[in-house]
Amino acid sequence: MIDIQGLKKVHFIGITSAFCSFCANYLIEKGVKVTASEVNQQSEDAKKWIERGVLYEGGHSGKYITDDLDLVVLPTGPIPGNPECVVAERKNIPTIPVAKLTGIISKEFKTIAIAGTHGKTTTCALTVWMLYKALGSLPNFVIGDHILDIDRSWNYNPENEYFVVEACEYKKQFLDRAPTPYISVITNIELDHTDFFKSQEQYNDAFVEFVSNTTKALVVDTKGNNIENILRKIKEYNIEIVDVANLKDDCSNVTAGLRGDYNKQNVLRACGVAEYLKLNVDIEDFPGVASRFEFKGSTINGMSVYLDYAHNPTKVKACLRATRESFPDKKIIFVWQPHSFERTYSFKDQFAKSLDDTDILYIPNIFAPNREERRYKELITEEEFVDYLKEKNPSKEILYTKDFENTASLLLDKKYNSDYICVLASAGDLYKILPSLKLEDNKDEI
C-alpha cells in the first residue's frame, strides 16, 4: 500500500484525464511535487497543466523519470515500450495505476460510487449537482465527461466530505477506483466488454464483488435485469437497500430538464442517494453533461445537431426513442460511430434491432480505442457491418460514408433543412466532425 503522507515527488504518465487530474491536484494540495508527461499537448487541459509548471512540454521521455521520484502513476498499467515505464522499472521506482491511487484517496471521503452498464456519467453528474445544491459547495468528483456550466469532469474540495466517482466495470476497475464505497449505486447490469467478461454470470459476479465492499447503502432498482441475482448474494453484508422504484411517486416532478425514459431512471438514482442522505432534491436547473444529447447548433440549412454518447445497443435505442419523442414531426439522421470492433461484432444482432426510430443512418467508421487488440479489429469491417444492418433493416437508408469529410458533405446537403434532426452518436472521436459542419450557435428547439 502506498503511503500518501510520505510522498514528496510524484510523476504522472498522462495527466489530462479526469482521474489523473483529480489525483494530481489532490497531491499538489497536500504539498507533493508533481510532474507529468502527455502526448497531446494541444488540449485546453494540457495547456493549463503546462501553465501550472506541472506538465513537461514534449511527449514522453525516459529523462523525466528522475532519481528523486517516490512514485510513478500509470494511466492503467505498464505501457509496453513506453520509455518512462522502462526507466521506472530499471530504477526500481514504485508505480501505481491511477485507478488504485484514486481508490486510496477515496478512503478519506464518504465515497458515492456509481456503477453500471450505462447511465453512469449522467447519474454521477446529477448526484454531484444534487449535493452541490443541497450543501452549497461542489463535492469532490471524477466522472466521464464535463458537467456543462461547471465545464469540468473532476473537482477536489477538501472542505466537502463527499466524493462522487464513476466506477467503471471494465476489467473490474471499480474495485480499484472505489474499494470501500459509502454508498454504491447500480444503474443497470447488461453484459458488456465481452473482450474481458465471457458470460453474464461472470459480469454479474464482478458487480457482487463491487457491491459487497459497500459500507452503508446500495441505491438500485430491485426489479432491474440481473439485480435480483446481485441482491441475493449480498444479503450477509448488512447493506441498506434504497429501491428507486419506491421513489417514483415522490419524485415524479423531478426532471432535471432531461428527456427520455432512461434519464428518468438516472434522475431517480440521484434521488435515491438524496433519500439515504436525507437531503433535499433541487436539480431542475441541472445544466446537463457534455455529449449527452447536447445541442451543438444548427447547419446553414436549419438542421439542428445534437451530440450523444450512445455506444451500446440499449443506449442507441434509448437515444433514438428520446429523439423521436422530442421531435415527432421531424426525420432523424443518425450519424453513428460504433465503439470498438469487438463490441460491434459481439452485439451486431442487438444493434440491428436498435435502429427502429431513425430514418437515415450514416456510419463513417468504427472507432478502435487504444486498448483494443489487433485480433479484435479483424472480427468485422465497416463494410460488413453496414451490409448486415442493411440486411436486417431493408426499409431504412443506411450508408457507409467512409470518413468525416464525406459525412459532413452529405449532412450539408440543402435537402437536410429544419425538417430534419441530426444526432451524432459516439464514444470515440466523432466530435471532430463538428468544425466541418460550421454550425450556427442558436437556441435548442426544446
Contact call for residues 219 and 185 (beta carbons, < 8 A)? yes
Contact call for residues 47 and 40 (beta carbons, < 8 A)? no
CA gap 419, 303 in Å, rounded: 7
The pLDDT, as a whole number, for residue 445 is 58
In the CATH hierarchy, which fold is given to the domain comprising 107-277?
UDP-N-acetylmuramoyl-L-alanine:D-glutamate ligase (3.40.1190)
In the CATH hierarchy, which fold is given to the domain comprising 294-437?
Protein-Tyrosine Phosphatase; Chain A (3.90.190)
CA gap 174, 363 in Å, rounded: 32
Mutual angle of helices 18-29 and 44-51, in 10-degree steps: 20
Residue ranges per structural domain of the chain? 7-97, 107-277, 294-437
In the CATH hierarchy, which fold is given to the domain comprising 7-97?
Rossmann fold (3.40.50)
What sign does the dihedral 154-122-147-157 (CA atoms) show? Answer: negative
Query: What cell was used for 197?
Result: 467478461
The pLDDT, as a whole number, for residue 40 is 87
Residue 160, amino acid: N
DSSP of 310-335: --SHHHHHHHHHHHHHH-TTSEEEEE
The pLDDT, as a whole number, for residue 391 is 97
Residue 83, amino acid: P
Low-confidence ranges of the chain (pLDDT < 70): 442-446
The pLDDT, as a whole number, for residue 182 is 98
The pLDDT, as a whole number, for residue 443 is 63
Cα distances (angstroms) measured from residue 188 to each of 98, 202, 293 = 25, 15, 20
CA gap 273, 420 in Å, rounded: 38
Nearest to 263, CA basis, from 305, 309, 319: 319
Query: What cell was used for 358?
Result: 431513425
CA gap 289, 126 in Å, rounded: 9
CA gap 12, 21 in Å, rounded: 9
The pLDDT, as a whole number, for residue 117 is 94
Domains 107-277 and 294-437 alike in fold: no
Which residue reads 459481439 in cell numbers? 346
The pLDDT, as a whole number, for residue 260 is 84
SS (H, E, C) 394-413: CCCEEEECCCHHHHHHHHCC
